[in-house]
Amino acid sequence: MSSSGQRVAPEDGGHPAAPADALADLEHALCQPLAAGLKPVLEAARDALLQATAQCQSAQQRYRALFDAFPDPVSILSASGTVLDVNAAGVQAYGRSRQEIVGQPIELLNPDLPEDHLQPVWDTLNRGQTYVIEVTNMRGDGSRFPVEVHSASFQNDGQPCIVAVARDLSRRWQAESRYRLLLESIDKGVMLFDQHFQVISANPAAHRILGLGAEPPTQIPMEGEEWITVDEHGRRLRTEQWPVSRAFRDGHTIPSTIVGLYHRPRGRMIWISITTVPVFSCGRDLPDHVFSMFSDVTELKRDHVLFDRAQALAHIGGWEWDRGQQRLYLTGEAQRILGHTPPPATLEQLLQCLGSDDRLRLQQTLDREVERKRGFELDLQGLRGDGHSVWIRMIGEIEAGDMASSRIAGTLQDITERKHAEETLKTQARTDPLTGIMNRDAALADLKARLGNPSHAQVAVLYIDLDRFKTVNDVLGHNAGDELLIEATRRIANAIGTEGLLARFGGDEFVVICDAREVPEHPQLLAQAITDAFAPLFRLGKDEFAVTTSIGIARAPEDGQSPQELIQNADRAMYECKRRSRNGWQVFTPELAREQRDRLQIERRLRRALERNEFRLVYQPQVDLRGGRIVGAEALIRWRNRQLGELRPDIFISHAETTGDIVRIGDWVLREACRQVREWMDEGLGLVRIAINVSYRQFNGDNLARRLREILDEYRLPGAALELEFTERVLIEDAPATLHTFAELREMGVMLTIDDFGEGYSALNYLRHLPIHGLKLSQLFINGVPGNRSDVAVCEAVCGIARSLGLGLVAEGVESEAQRQFLLELGVPIGQGFLFAPGLSPREFARRLR
Ligand code: C2E
Ligand code: MG
Ligand code: MG
């Protein structure tokens, strides 16, 4: 390239030829042909030349100094691109000496230039403009660095040249690339807007979040054809409400705001959280740009919305109490549940929504749990603004790691429906469906609560059993039974009024719980009122009949301290009442308890006495009072138990009747007596009529006659071999099959006698209709004759009845000759008693008979 002939810098690198030498050459050339007269002219010329040379030299020095002082690499290029000169910064930057660079093509420094790169350069330069290009320059060691080259043209020796200033961009590139990297890699969208809301730039995250293509969005995506902008609650935002507008208007940073962007063409909703920062130019009051950074919260928002909806569906709201700030935060659902406008914003206001008891409970719980740093769960009842009551379950927890327990947060659940359902269930569970009064469980719970409360511990229990209810139920059917129970409930309820609590305990059993503190006789008075309430006959359809009650009374604390014990003792007293008389009441006593304990023991052993063969029969002769001849015998049962010893029947028979064991025992007695008669007959003793005691309970079923038939057949005995003694109890017990059984027995030839006549029930009018043969005058009255006048009177009366009804008469318990005389005078033909013989073993009886 040096062939171009242009010389801007000498080859030696920096020292142009000295003007004095050039002048001497000139002088030498001129002096030869010219005369000496020319000398002054020449000298003047030489001076001028010297001066010009000196000026040129200093200009050159200034140029070089300036050229080398320039901080960026500067090259002078020929029109064809040869490097004519390079400054010191260029030498430094390219890492080559000036000699290595000058005269070389520009490609040495710019290895990446295209082939005809000079054409566009000259096109621009020829238009008088500066050509600017970013390229890569190469150092002597082959390493490269980015530069921005500004090129201009100038004339050198009439030839067009280029001066090219290269600015090293390495530093800026580094900073910019870091910045770009940052913008490209962060997941936050970043956008720069100008005052017309035009987008100056947007990073890839912005494109991604807004679902835009690669082209930069020019229009702010907030309004217009494509976009609809809404606030957090879905309300349309006006242009002046957009965060970008506000940042431009106010010149403040608008901190994170939730904005929804609906893209119409795609039908897609995007939720972003956007922070907007104004950017000011130097010295300006209003921003000329605004930066927006935003993140995609669509999913978060969706979760939130779903969560909200789920909360609403489950009637669960959230709450947080900031103790430090004394502020209460409630979610929408929590506010809805509480139902107050405006919603409570402080704890005090929340407490006001609750009933006074629960208010205190919540306050105390909060205080306590904050102290202990624990959570809590409370069911509270409140009153909504509309006056409806609401049940809420409030769960609270102290935030983990919150040392000062400054925040308590939790959930608030509407459990009103559940509570109501529970209440209904509870009521149902407590109510007897037939009568609508409390049931057993409820009564026990009530009793337990009363006994647990010292001020109510003096409680009495009335255990009520309807007499003969089972007969009504069996004979008239369950509907009649139900009707009877309802009517009985009504009568008891009326009788006790508000003085006691009535519950049905099951079947035909009722319990009244009452207070026994102030009036000690209160339970008895109630019992009497109930007894009286059953005096009028019950009417079921056309039928009228009497139903009475047996009532047992037990009181706390003396008769029991637990509900079970108290009820059990009241039940025992009731049983005692039933056992004795029915239709009345019996107060529980310790003796009763002891008796019952004994009875229980007896009953337990009695149950197994038959299989253990512990029974036997003795036979007490019945004699002709006149001559003393044995006409028959009464079979009397004897029980010998290993532990209890010999027990008399008047002790254990009633237990056997209570337990029902008497039916099996009675069956055994019948068989044993028949077996004995057969044995005696086989021994040639002849037929002796044996009187057998039959319990009223043996009449309950309809198989007494059938059973007796079987036994008689088994031992080949006629019915006339037996006499059955039963008490008046059989008559009032009112078992439906009794009359029929009597008729059957009589048909079989069995004699029927009423035992202990006159002792009990005075049901004289029955006698007329009964198919019986005779009466046994109770030893209760024989005992007093002939001395006791009233006993004499009873004996005379019974004698009269028997005679007038045509019934036979036997006197029992005849112990003295005086009694025998009295009875003989009264016309009683037959007697039985220790005067003649006690109960005898079969062998002894047989011996005496012979
Ligand atoms: P009961 O049928 O009136 O029997 C008469 C009772 O009086 C018998 O008592 C007998 O021993 C007793 N006795 C007889 N003569 C005299 C006397 O001169 N003076 C006195 N003080 N007592 C006399 P026992 O054997 O203790 O029977 C008591 C009751 O037990 C009987 O009264 C009867 O009701 C019942 N009983 C006895 N055996 C049976 C039985 O096999 N089945 C049933 N169901 N009850 C029975
Ligand atoms: Mg008897
Ligand atoms: Mg008797």
Please list, residue by residue across 253-284, b when 16 or more beta carbons sit within 10 angstroms of its beta carbon and e when fewer do.
ebeebbbbbbbeeeeeebbbbbbbebeeeeee
Residues 675 and 812 grouped into a single domain? yes
For residue 218, give the H/E element and its range.
none
Domain boundary (241, 269, 302) is at 302
Mutate to test the pocket of ligand 1, among 665, 693, 725, 841 (most ligand atoms within 8 A of CB): 693
- Which atom of ligand 1 lies nearest, measured to the CA of 653? 45
Cis ω before 287 (30° cut-off from 0): no
pTM of the model: 0.45
- Which atom of ligand 1 lies nearest, measured to the CA of 656? 44
Q: Using a 6 Å cutoff on CB, does residue 756 contact ligand 1?
A: yes
- Which atom of ligand 1 lies nearest, measured to the CA of 657? 44
Specify the amino acid at residue 384: R
Ligand 1, atom 46, residue with closest C-alpha: 693
Q: What 8-state DSSP symbol labels residue 723?
A: E
- Which ligand lies nearest the alpha carbon of 697? 1
Q: Using a 6 Å cutoff on CB, does residue 831 contact ligand 1?
A: no
Residues 368 and 323 grouped into a single domain? yes
Q: Using a 6 Å cutoff on CB, does residue 317 contact ligand 1?
A: no
For residue 256, give the H/E element and its range.
strand 254-263
Residue 12 lies in a domain: no
Q: Using a 6 Å cutoff on CB, does residue 693 contact ligand 1?
A: yes
| DSSP track, 293-353 | EEEE-HHHHHHHHHHHHHHHHTTEEEEEEETTTTEEEE-HHHHHHHT-SSPP-SHHHHHHT
Q: Using a 6 Å cutoff on CB, does residue 517 contact ligand 1?
A: no
CA–CA separation, 773 and 798 (whole Å): 14
Residues 662 and 801 grouped into a single domain? yes
Ligand 1, atom 42, residue with closest C-alpha: 693
Per the CB < 8 A criterion, the answer to whether 633 and 849 are in contact is no
Give whole-number Cα distances, 235 to 384, 508, 642, in Å: 29, 70, 98
What are phi and psi for residue 634, nearest 5 degrees?
-105, 130
Residue 830: beta bridge partners? 624, 810
- Which atom of ligand 1 lies nearest, measured to the CA of 835? 18
Residues 682 and 778 grouped into a single domain? yes
Structural domain count of the chain: 5
CA–CA separation, 389 and 381 (whole Å): 7
> Cα of 108 to ligand 1 centre, how many Å?
150
Give whole-number Cα distances, 143 to 138, 139, 194, 637, 765, in Å: 6, 5, 40, 135, 143
For residue 161, give its domain range.
20-172
- Which atom of ligand 1 lies nearest, measured to the CA of 662? 44
Residues 742 and 843 grouped into a single domain? yes
Q: Using a 6 Å cutoff on CB, does residue 646 contact ligand 1?
A: no
> Cα of 815 to ligand 3 centre, how many Å?
14
Q: Using a 6 Å cutoff on CB, does residue 636 contact ligand 1?
A: yes
Residues 74 and 95 grouped into a single domain? yes
pLDDT of 25: 64
> Cα of 811 to ligand 3 centre, how many Å?
9
> Cα of 810 to ligand 3 centre, how many Å?
10
Residue 596 lies in a domain: no
The whole-angstrom distance between residue 170's C-alpha and the CA centroid of its chain comes to: 69
Q: Using a 6 Å cutoff on CB, does residue 616 contact ligand 1?
A: no
- Greatest Cα-to-Cα distance within the chain, rounded to the nearest angstrom: 225
Per the CB < 8 A criterion, the answer to whether 760 and 729 are in contact is yes
> Cα of 594 to ligand 2 centre, how many Å?
28
| DSSP track, 527-589 | HHHHHHHT-SPEEETTEEE---EEEEEEETTTT-SSHHHHHHHHHHHHHHHHHHTSSEEEE--
pLDDT of 2: 38
Q: Using a 6 Å cutoff on CB, does residue 620 contact ligand 1?
A: yes
Per the CB < 8 A criterion, the answer to whether 165 and 140 are in contact is no
Ligand 1, atom 34, residue with closest C-alpha: 693
pLDDT of 350: 93
Ligand 1, atom 22, residue with closest C-alpha: 813
- Which atom of ligand 1 lies nearest, measured to the CA of 695? 44
Ligand 1, atom 23, residue with closest C-alpha: 813
Strands (E), 592-737: 615-624, 630-641, 645-647, 689-693, 722-726
CA–CA separation, 724 and 743 (whole Å): 13
Show the tokens assigned to 391. 């049940």
CA–CA separation, 239 and 277 (whole Å): 17
Cis ω before 19 (30° cut-off from 0): no
Residue 152 lies in a domain: yes
Mutate to test the pocket of ligand 1, among 636, 694, 729, 836 (most ligand atoms within 8 A of CB): 636
Domain boundary (393, 421, 449) is at 421
Ligand 1, atom 15, residue with closest C-alpha: 833
**Residue 533, number of CB atoms within 10 A of its CB:** 17
CA–CA separation, 582 and 468 (whole Å): 10
Residues 669 and 814 grouped into a single domain? yes
Residue 692 lies in a domain: yes
Q: Using a 6 Å cutoff on CB, does residue 815 contact ligand 1?
A: yes
Ligand 1, atom 41, residue with closest C-alpha: 637
> Cα of 632 to ligand 3 centre, how many Å?
15
Which residues have C-beta within 8 Å of that of residue 74, sequence separation ≥ 6? 67, 86, 87, 89, 90, 163, 164, 165, 166
The number of CA neighbours under 13 Å toward the Cβ of 239 is 6
> Cα of 755 to ligand 3 centre, how many Å?
5
Domain boundary (421, 450, 465) is at 421
For residue 524, give the H/E element and its range.
helix 522-533
Per the CB < 8 A criterion, the answer to whether 243 and 274 are in contact is yes
Residues 298 and 324 grouped into a single domain? no
Which 3 state secondary structure label does DSSP give 385?
A: coil
pLDDT of 5: 43
- End-to-end CA distance of the chain: give it in Å, rounded: 179
What is the domain-level CATH number for residue 537?
3.30.70.270
Show the tokens assigned to 211. 């679902």
Show the tokens assigned to 367. 């205080």
Residues 448 and 413 grouped into a single domain? no
H-type alpha helices, 211-270:
243-250
Which 3 state secondary structure label does DSSP give 411?
A: strand
Per the CB < 8 A criterion, the answer to whether 707 and 671 are in contact is no
Q: What 8-state DSSP symbol labels residue 643?
A: T
Residue 86 lies in a domain: yes
Please work out, in degrees rounded to the nearest 5, the angle formed at the alpha carbon of residue 816 by the alpha carbons of 758 and 772.
30
Residue 310 lies in a domain: no
Inter-helix orientation angle 522-533/478-496, to 10°: 140
- Which atom of ligand 1 lies nearest, measured to the CA of 832? 15
Specify the amino acid at residue 634: E
Residue 3 lies in a domain: no
> Cα of 755 to ligand 2 centre, how many Å?
6
pLDDT of 417: 87
Specify the amino acid at residue 377: E
* Low-confidence residues in the chain, pLDDT < 70: 1-36, 214-225, 302-314, 399-406, 455-457, 701-702, 732-736, 759-766
Please work out, in degrees rounded to the nearest 5, the angle formed at the alpha carbon of residue 224 by the alpha carbons of 221 and 226.
65
Residues 228 and 249 grouped into a single domain? yes
Q: Using a 6 Å cutoff on CB, does residue 653 contact ligand 1?
A: yes
Q: Using a 6 Å cutoff on CB, does residue 648 contact ligand 1?
A: yes
**Residue 750, number of CB atoms within 10 A of its CB:** 23
Residues 43 and 163 grouped into a single domain? yes
Show the tokens assigned to 80. 């064809």
- Which ligand lies nearest the alpha carbon of 833? 1
- Which atom of ligand 1 lies nearest, measured to the CA of 617? 41
Q: Using a 6 Å cutoff on CB, does residue 691 contact ligand 1?
A: no
Residues 614 and 546 grouped into a single domain? no
What is the domain-level CATH number for residue 67?
3.30.450.20
CA–CA separation, 308 and 292 (whole Å): 29
Residue 553: beta bridge partners? 462, 587
Of 707, 641, 718, give the one whose Cα is nearest residue 669.
707
Residue 240 lies in a domain: yes
- Which ligand lies nearest the alpha carbon of 836? 1
CA–CA separation, 650 and 637 (whole Å): 10
Tell me the pLDDT tens digit for each residue of 289-338: 999 999 988 777 766 666 666 666 667 788 888 877 788 888 888 899 99
